[in-house]
Structure 1
Amino acid sequence: MLLHGFPSSSRSFDTLIPLLATRYHLIAPDFPGFGHSDAPPPPAYAYTFDHLAQTMDHLLEALNIERYSLYIHDYGAPVGMRLIMAHPERLQVLITQNGNIYQAGLGAKWSKIAQYWADPAAHPEVIDAFLSPEGTEQRHTLGTSHPECYNPDTWTDEIAHLSKPGQREIQAALLYDYQTNVAAYPAWQAWLRQHRPPTLVAWGANDPSFIAAGATAFRNDLPDAEIHLLDAGHFPLDEKNDETAALILTFMAKHLLSSALAEREGAER
């Protein structure tokens, strides 16, 4: 299951899916308010990370999926961690790519966002910058040393989506609610320490939003985590797609095979 970030959609996995689909069945939903999913106005749908996770949970139940491996990126991290906490028995393998759950991983811009959390009305410039065309492009291009790898259609499509009626209200609600994720970090970290799921960290090391310290921090709770810092920004798939796919395929082959053998041995006993 591939869970996307802001302000993207399942389209961000367009280049990754064909490389993984030769071996695995993939689900890449758009969150409500993103991509081609419905975007009901906030009075009709509560745009919180709790609610996004509940919606994804309902999707999994509707598809009768009881076990899955999880890839989380950006907003997909708090949604995915809520799914894990609600149904820990369903998780096989965890893959995080700039999906942060550590205070150490928050870049400099989060101090300004914290001011927005304290008083949204006093800091409209934060949401203005968050939704601006310049900010949308820079989410892709800041930190890259290979700008020629980037397709401008990626952010022009995102800009068009963010310009739709109602998007400012939707994204402002989610940005405000993001503080609940930071508050939940200690609980998520404690769960990882207790359960030790096989975890792959494939992180764009030059991301100014979720900095590289957020990747290496996983080692504090998961000493056996496989951690790779890639020469990429916030959207590593834009320039490190093949490398990411190779890491995922190798990691999942190793750990899912081990899990299958353990389950088989348990059944034979």
Structure 2
Amino acid sequence: MIKQKFGAAILGTMVLASSVAVASPIPSTTATTTYHRIDVDGVGVFYREAGPKDAPTIVLLHGFPSSSRGFDTLIPLLATHYHVVAPDYPGFGQSDTPSPKVYRYTFNHLAKTIDILLEQLRINHYTLYLFDYGAPIGYRIILTHPERLHALIIQNGNAYDAGLGSKWAKIAQFWSDPKVHPEVVNAFLSYEATKQRHLAGTSHPDAYDPESWNDEFAHLSQPGQREIQEALLYDYRTNVAAYPVWQAWLRKHKPPTLIVWGANDPSFIAAGAQAYRADLPDAEIHLLDAGHFALEEKNDVIANLILQFMAKHP
């Protein structure tokens, strides 16, 4: 009899739990990230999306050698108030990796692809978040459609000679004669360099997930990636040459700008953040105690700064 009562109690609990699960499912919210792929000129482009589509849009542009996955913790915090879109460039993340024989890996071409993506998504007014490679891609989009820009958020996205750290002198030698300096590409794509992009300059290494650089290195080790990344590293010289053009545009148009910069970044040093002041005297500049991938240790701080900044510029 005891066994029967015990069994009935268990059965009753199971039925109750089952009915509760059916009657009260966990509600989804606009902050929930969804994952998409769209064809852009024959290339499958992957993007993350969250937030109400009728809210102002923030487009997050990632860096090297990462992807939109680097925004995983930021997106839900912004999506409570904004429509957020974060694409992967061709050759990065979950987007297609067409052969360099059929897709030109230049910053001009990456910018064109992302620009077309935004047009296909009918996003024609946005705030751009520029990080690392996202800066030269974003500035090209801005110069193509200046009327579409609402505001700028810049996180270790360089546009000044003053912001280039010491390693760029060696990269400049590669630009002058790529065939003579293969060691630059070897170092650029090495496991240690991939790891140190995250850890260099941080006083909080425990805030960094090793899966980040392990996944990035696995991606860089895939067939064809060396050719792709070498082409983009060589093409980066066109970004440095374009700095005066970008600076002139900023000086003329003065968009509302928030700069949140990992001040201990050895690649894009803190002077690069401060240099914006010459062309954007009203820019809001925050130098954070963080390295290049500042979001990994200052995600909540940066999210709060963005929300406060956007509230000031509705």
Q: TM-score, structure 1 length as denominator? A: 0.95
Amino acid at match of 2:203: S
1:139 is matched with which residue?
A: 197
2:39 is matched with which residue?
A: none
Matched ranges for 1:163-202 at <5 A? 163-202=221-260
Amino acid at match of 1:6: F
Distance 1:159 1:231 in 2: 25
Equivalent residue pairs, number:
256
Matched ranges for 1:42-81 at <5 A? 42-81=100-139
Runs of 4+ aligned structure 1 residues displaced above 2 Å come to none
Aligned equivalent of 1:30, options 85, 88, 96: 88
| Offset at residue 65 of structure 1 (A) | 1.0
Q: TM-score, structure 2 length as denominator? A: 0.81
The DSSP-based 3-state class of the residue aligned with 1:174 is helix
The DSSP-based 3-state class of the residue aligned with 1:178 is helix
| Offset at residue 188 of structure 1 (A) | 0.2
Which structure 2 residue ranges, 5 or more long, are not aligned?
A: 1-58
Amino acid at match of 1:108: S
2:278 is matched with which residue?
A: 220
1:88 is matched with which residue?
A: 146
Cα displacement string for residues 207-243 of structure 1 (whole angstroms, at most 9, x for unaligned residues) = 0000000000000000000000000000000100000
Distance 1:23 1:126 in 2: 43
Amino acid at match of 1:141: L
Alignment of 1:119 with 2:173, yes or no, is no
Percent of residue pairs identical: 72
Distance 2:278 2:192 in 1: 36
Alignment of 1:15 with 2:73, yes or no, is yes
The structure where strand makes up a greater share of residues is 2
Alignment of 1:162 with 2:246, yes or no, is no
Cα displacement string for residues 145-188 of structure 1 (whole angstroms, at most 9, x for unaligned residues) = 11111100010000110010000000000000000000000000
Distance 2:151 2:310 in 1: 7
The DSSP-based 3-state class of the residue aligned with 1:217 is helix
The DSSP-based 3-state class of the residue aligned with 1:158 is helix
Alignment of 1:5 with 2:63, yes or no, is yes
Aligned equivalent of 1:203, options 261, 275, 281: 261
2:26 is matched with which residue?
A: none
Amino acid at match of 1:90: R
| Offset at residue 41 of structure 1 (A) | 1.0
The DSSP-based 3-state class of the residue aligned with 1:200 is strand
Amino acid at match of 1:68: Y
The DSSP-based 3-state class of the residue aligned with 2:285 is strand
Which structure 1 residue ranges, 5 or more long, are not aligned?
A: 257-269
Distance 1:116 1:44 in 2: 25
Cα displacement string for residues 9-50 of structure 1 (whole angstroms, at most 9, x for unaligned residues) = 000000100110100111100000000000111111000000
Distance 1:95 1:163 in 2: 31
2:13 is matched with which residue?
A: none
Q: Higher relative CO (CA 8 A, sep ≥ 6), structure 1 or 2? A: 1
Distance 1:110 1:52 in 2: 22
Distance 2:77 2:218 in 1: 28
The DSSP-based 3-state class of the residue aligned with 2:85 is coil
| Offset at residue 54 of structure 1 (A) | 0.3
Bigger Rg, which one = 2
Distance 1:59 1:23 in 2: 23
Amino acid at match of 1:77: A
Tell me the C-alpha RMSD between the 2 structures.
0.4
